[in-house]
Amino acid sequence: MSAATVSQSHHPLDFEPSQLDRHVYSSRRYRATVDVVTLVSIAVLLLYVLPGTLIVPNLTYAGRPALLLCLLMFAWWCLARLSPKLLLVGPQPIRWFLGLYLVANVMSYIAGMLRGLPTQEANAQNFAMLQLFQFLGAALIVADGVQNWDRLNRLLRVMVYCGGFMAVVGILQATLKIDVSEYFVIPGLEVKGGLVGFGTRGDEGQFRIAGTTTHYIEFSAVVAMLVPFAIHVARFSEKKLQRYLGAFCGFLLAVANPMSISRTGILALALALIIMVPIWSWRLRYTFLYIGVAAVVSIMMVKPGVLGTIKAMFLNIGVDPSIEGRTNDYEMVGHFFDQRPWLGRGPRTLLDDPVRDTILDNQWLYTLVTGGIIGVIALLALHIASITLAVIALRRTKVDEYRHLCVALISAQAVAVVVGGTFDSLYYTTFAITLALFCGMCGTVWRFTHPARTVRTATARRS
């Protein structure tokens, strides 16, 4: 790294002591045995490596080990806020927008209960609220709990490396037509509803893969979001091995993306890279162009015909049954929206049958039906707030590394907004928790670049 980066990474304020209790002091440079980044890294490992349908026995899909850990993080954050000895000082804007998102969902939840719900819809509401607290736990603990740039970079490396592993699983599935994720089933856990398996797509015998996620589109969207962060790790990691691993994982993520045979994944990857291009030098742009050509050639070699299938999907979009199925849902959406326009039917209460959710393949329409106009505004406000905080951090700092990271966070939010119009993104937990982590990181970079000490350090209040 450059001298400026090293200087910024070890800011003088990081070493200033903060009184936690009588005769007890700490600083942002202190590294505990188990801190926030350690716990979040374990959650990411469980989220990306274990199959998405692997749960703790006798629990719902919210019982994935990674999600239970996120619920624990939400409880940890609440204790840190409520305890007078642990209360974090200084403003954090992302808290307010996450709180707005929580209030909107609670209001929708109450509205759903007041209209009188059958048992299945009441259970679906409770399940949705449990997943909401897991989402909030991941976002809040990262926004307030990451101590310094070093620890944030460590978390990013863990996400990229685990994402690279998920990409390897997808590539092996695509090339061998063997679901290797079945070998990651840990004794003591159970597979709920079976593994995802493969889905046919196109007329040339092509099939779709999901890696360790629970859906093919989810897999493509998650790996697309991670590509800019892999490039970031490849460019700015301190050690040469870390940079090589980041570059290799980025290449794997880019190669695995089209193998899910998803228009959403291709659009997400293209959007993420388009947003990143302005921050790159011309040398990096040319380098990435060569790498892109190598990725295309690799896809043609390991999975012949997949690029032709994707091309046909875009050219025949007007007669695609999946597009027709999405447009056919508009009448149903309008019917339910007219009934309850402001607060909706209640979180996740749009059931196709007594036990299965209706899939609209559009998160924004699903939120409109189940959360109403207020729910859509709250979700959109969360995305806009995350982008705004990253933009503010981008304008504050002159360090190339941190500017690049801010743009990567902006690209992740932009991708989430766009893909929300092509599939029920927050229905799938791997994507949802990944988005929560990136929302929290937007708050983190805003805090790290803030000039005020009490905001930047986010230290504990004096007893």
Residue 21 above 80 pLDDT? no
In 3D space, the residue among 163, 219, 173, 218 whose CA is nearest the CA of residue 197 turns out to be 173
pLDDT on residue 463 = 35
Could you tell me which residue, 451 or 217, shows the higher pLDDT?
A: 217
Residue 157 above 90 pLDDT? yes
Helix, strand or coil for residue 97? helix
pLDDT on residue 224 = 97
Confidence band of 197 (pLDDT split at 50, 70, 90): confident
Could you tell me which residue, 213 or 148, shows the higher pLDDT?
A: 213
Amino acid at 101: Y
Could you tell me which residue, 68 or 204, shows the higher pLDDT?
A: 68
8 Å CB contact between 433 and 134: yes
Give the Cα separation of 127 and 125 in Å (integer): 5
Residue 8 above 60 pLDDT? no
CA distances in angstroms from 395 to 92, 138, 389, 453, listed in the order given: 18, 26, 10, 18
Residue 359 above 90 pLDDT? no
8 Å CB contact between 175 and 306: no
Residue 88 above 70 pLDDT? no
Could you tell me the two tokens for 298?
Answer: 């690799």
Residue 152 above 80 pLDDT? yes
Q: What is the DSSP letter of 186?
A: P
What is the longest distance spanned by two Cα atoms in the chain? Answer: 72
In 3D space, the residue among 372, 384, 291 whose CA is nearest the CA of residue 97 turns out to be 384
Confidence band of 412 (pLDDT split at 50, 70, 90): very high
pTM for the structure as a whole: 0.92
CA distances in angstroms from 267 to 99, 292, 323, 326, listed in the order given: 31, 15, 15, 17
Amino acid at 91: P
Could you tell me which residue, 325 or 311, shows the higher pLDDT?
A: 311
pLDDT on residue 311 = 86
Residue 31 above 80 pLDDT? no
Q: Read off φ and ψ for residue 83, nearest 5 degrees.
A: -75, 130
Burial 184-200 (b: 16+ CB within 10 A, else e): eeeeebeebeebbebee
In 3D space, the residue among 39, 90, 89, 45 whose CA is nearest the CA of residue 64 turns out to be 45
pLDDT on residue 25 = 61
**Sheet strands (E) in 91-247:** 190-191, 199-200, 207-208
> For the residues 259-287, what does the mean pLDDT come to?
95
> For the residues 236-258, what does the mean pLDDT come to?
96
- The answer for residues whose C-beta is within 8 angstroms of residue 236's C-beta and 6 or more apart is 1, 5, 153, 400, 401, 404
> For the residues 180-197, what does the mean pLDDT come to?
89
Give the Cα separation of 387 and 412 in Å (integer): 9
pLDDT on residue 347 = 95
Rg (CA), the chain: 22
> For the residues 440-459, what does the mean pLDDT come to?
82
Say how many residues make up the chain.
463
Could you tell me which residue, 359 or 121, shows the higher pLDDT?
A: 121
State the chain's mean pLDDT as an integer: 88
Could you tell me which residue, 351 or 99, shows the higher pLDDT?
A: 99
Could you tell me which residue, 316 or 434, shows the higher pLDDT?
A: 434
Confidence band of 309 (pLDDT split at 50, 70, 90): confident
